[in-house]
């Protein structure tokens, strides 16, 4: 069972890039382009339209128009893994075909998360219909496993079945289960065949790399990109565990707050651009006291976002 004939062009670390919104609720494409270029300069690829992008608060058309603007603005599609999963097969197809038309290196695809207690057969049918509808051998799908949000567990047998049926198309996954035992089991079973496993948090970066995974797609790569990318590049060196501990410290501060609102607070502060504070309902900005507390905790560890 061979997964892919070609090596990936994607970096070891990607960010589910936060989306800046205008006052009218539409994505601010130029502000997002600037943010993506800052991430790229710090060694981090762009998994735009992920959970931390507030992707499911945006329409398929908004996401497709934004992707067009980013690539026409100079981003390298070979470092991009747009999220294209939706509860609608038609929307998933449209967004996936659009990303493919711009030669993005891969797409990150959620399972259809509205209906609960669905079977492996139902999940297989969903992914299979999208793949067959696309009908393009260049398609590279990374399955997005995030059961704390979707309430759907992706079984090892389902992953094996998808890979067996579509060995050159279903090439990897982002695992945001937070369950290291599960992540490790996927790596042990499928990585020897070329399946690329990204952890969903840099907290698991060292363990993932040591086990045979390829890296992480992590929320806090939005705010701490260089340090995370440098650990991925130097994980075999003697100071790697110290680097991991430093990453965990930063992550731990943001984890005390609603993650998206907290990271937007940091970007707004360090970029001196309060428009970054906007989130889409039902999310809410942090209160003034929460913002002050977060920034105080970051200052205490000498955190910064140079070049933002």
Alpha-carbon distance of 215 to 232, in angstroms, equals 7
Alpha-carbon distance of 262 to 164, in angstroms, equals 41
Catalytic entry in 31, 93, 126, 174: 174
Helical axes 89-101 vs 120-134, angle rounded to 10°: 40
Alpha-carbon distance of 214 to 262, in angstroms, equals 27
Query: For residue 179, what is the DSSP state?
Result: -
Check: CB of residue 140 under 8 Å from CB of residue 99. no
141 marked among binding-site residues: no
Alpha-carbon distance of 57 to 4, in angstroms, equals 33
Check: CB of residue 192 under 8 Å from CB of residue 160. no
Strand order in the sheet with 215-217: 45-46, 13-15, 215-217, 196-199, 170-175, 141-145, 107-109
Q: 188-191, long-range: CB within 8 Å, 24+ apart, which pairs?
A: 188/212, 189/156, 189/160, 190/3, 190/159, 190/160, 190/163
Catalytic entry in 144, 198, 257, 270: 144
Active site residue 22: no
Active site residue 126: no
Count the neighbouring beta carbons within 10 Å of the beta carbon of residue 147: 17
Full 3-state SS string of 72-90: HCCCCHHHECCECCCCCHH
Full 3-state SS string of 212-273: CCCEEECHHHHCCHHHHHHHHHCCCCCCHHHHHHHHHHHHHHHCCCCHHHHHHHHHHHHCCC
Alpha-carbon distance of 65 to 83, in angstroms, equals 14
Annotated binding site for pyruvate: 217
- Report, as residue numbers or ranges, the catalytic residues: 144, 174
Q: Annotated binding site: which residue ranges? A: 217
């Amino acid at each position: 069972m061979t997964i892919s004939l070609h090596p990936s062009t994607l970096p070891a670390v990607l960010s589910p890039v936060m989306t800046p919104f205008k006052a009218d609720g539409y994505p601010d494409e130029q502000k997002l382009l600037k943010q993506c270029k800052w991430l790229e300069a710090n060694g981090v690829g762009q998994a735009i339209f992920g959970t931390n992008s507030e992707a499911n608060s945006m329409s398929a058309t908004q996401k497709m128009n934004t992707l067009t603007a980013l690539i026409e603005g100079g981003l390298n599609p070979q470092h991009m893994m747009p999220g294209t999963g939706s509860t609608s097969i038609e929307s998933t197809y449209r967004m996936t075909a659009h990303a493919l038309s711009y030669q993005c290196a891969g797409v990150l695809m959620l399972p259809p998360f509205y209906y609960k207690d669905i079977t492996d057969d139902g999940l297989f049918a969903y992914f299979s219909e999208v793949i067959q509808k696309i009908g393009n051998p260049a398609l590279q799908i990374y399955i997005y496993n995030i059961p704390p949000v979707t309430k759907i567990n992706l079984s090892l047998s389902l992953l094996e079945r998808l890979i067996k049926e579509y060995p050159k198309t279903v090439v990897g996954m982002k695992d945001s289960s937070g369950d290291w035992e599960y992540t490790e089991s996927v790596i042990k079973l499928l990585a020897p065949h070329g399946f690329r496993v990204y952890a969903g948090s840099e907290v698991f970066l060292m363990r993932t790399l040591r086990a045979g995974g390829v890296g992480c797609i992590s929320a806090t790569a939005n705010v701490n990109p260089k340090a995370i990318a440098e650990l991925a590049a130097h994980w075999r060196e003697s100071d790697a565990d110290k680097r991991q501990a430093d990453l965990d410290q930063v992550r731990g501060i943001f984890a005390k707050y609603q993650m998206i609102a907290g990271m937007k607070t940091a970007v707004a502060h360090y970029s001196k651009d309060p428009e970054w504070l906007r989130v889409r309902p039902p999310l809410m900005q942090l209160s003034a006291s929460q913002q002050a507390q977060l920034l105080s905790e970051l200052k205490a560890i000498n955190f910064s976002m140079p070049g933002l």
